[in-house]
Amino acid sequence: MGVAVQVEGLTKSFGNQLIWGDVTLTLPPGEISVILGPSGTGKSVFLKTLIGLLKPDRGSVVIEGTDVATCKEKELYEIRKLFGVLFQDGAMFGSMNLYDNVAFPLREHTKKPESEIRQIVMEKMEMVGLVGAETKLPGEISGGMRKRAGIARGLVLEPEIILFDEPDSGLDPVRTALISQLIIDLNSQIDATFLIVTHDINTARTVPDNIGMLYHQHLAMFGHREMLLSSDQPAVRQFLNAQKAGPIGMTEEKDEDELAQEAHYEMPPLPPIPMQVMPSDGRPRRGQRPPGEWCRQNGVTPPPGSFRQTMSMAPGGAA
């Protein structure tokens, strides 16, 4: 089913630079959550703090009763085995072929014989569509293939929690859609909790069950996708609609002059909430709830035209 990750009051700074403060959220087990945020807001720092690679100033990250932020090195080592991570740059060993890269965690963390390792590696390579590319070096393949190889490597230890750091960055729209579909398919096939950080709005609108947004050194919101996609909060609205006008500027926050200039600008209406991308084998999503249910239960009127099948941004158009 995957495990829950409970983050409470998490605060991180480097020297006197506060990255984000007082972040509180729970990743629901087995569901897909997205943390969205402009560049430089500390999304990668957040992921690294979840796996204990960076220590927060304050707060806790509790996984199965253990607080990653304060536990001993030995406990951390055990907790890390629950994670599969796709780092932003892929973090592949350049001199190792894809097979050895994907096999690496198994050789490092288990005593499995090579025959079993081969079976696991090939199964994961097949899941991400890389059979036939085993002997290629990371430098010889496209960015999209490197991302998929990174995902395969993240899967070999059968993780309970999978973290994706910008799985869609640097990919063309078709490859982005294919990676999104791959993530949805994996989620329906394996028992794990998924967290994706991205600044891709299409991904954020169609892939997750839950969305959070890091902005202005805090978590502006975290909750059911329908909550964020129908939100009137200016920064959330600006970001999810890719608008220039709003509180987010090139330097993340706009100065007063810029905001004054925009004072009379009216935000365009919210676009309809699209349907979620579905698993390609026709199974329901693991965290499936009826479209519009959250809005109904919370008395929120979704933007006109929401939840129409044709609104889906799934790969291949309307499907």
Site residues, ligand ATP (CB under 6 A): 14, 19, 37, 39-45, 88, 199
Site string for Mg ion, 85-124 (x = CB under 5 A): ---x------------------------------------
- Min dist CB 166 to Mg ion, Å, is 6
Rounded Cα–Cα distance for residues 286 and 273 (Å): 20
Query: Which residue number, 44 or 60, has a Cβ lying nearer to Mg ion?
Result: 44
Helix (H, G, I), strand (E, B) or coil at 94: coil
- Min dist CB 71 to ligand ATP, Å, is 21
Helix (H, G, I), strand (E, B) or coil at 56: coil
Q: Hey, how many other C-beta atoms are within 10 angstroms of the C-beta on 53? A: 13
- Min dist CB 40 to ligand ATP, Å, is 5
- Min dist CB 111 to Mg ion, Å, is 34
**37, interface contact from Mg ion, ligand ATP, none, CB < 5-8 Å by kind:** ligand ATP
Rounded Cα–Cα distance for residues 281 and 276 (Å): 15
Site string for Mg ion, 26-55 (x = CB under 5 A): -----------------xx-----------
Rounded Cα–Cα distance for residues 223 and 272 (Å): 18
- 169 touching Mg ion, by CB under 5 A: no
Between residue 224 and residue 263, which ones bind Mg ion under the rule CB under 5 A?
none
Residues facing residue 259 across a β-bridge: none
**14, interface contact from Mg ion, ligand ATP, none, CB < 5-8 Å by kind:** ligand ATP
Task: Name the strand (E) or helix (H) holding 43.
Answer: helix 43-50
- Min dist CB 290 to ligand ATP, Å, is 33
User: Is beta strand 58-63 parallel, antiparallel or unpaired with respect to 5-14?
Assistant: antiparallel
Rounded Cα–Cα distance for residues 103 and 120 (Å): 8
Query: Which residue number, 242 or 263, has a Cβ lying nearer to ligand ATP?
Result: 242
Within 8 A by CB and 6+ apart from 56, the residues are 10, 11, 12, 49, 69
Binding site for Mg ion (CB under 5 A): 43-44, 88
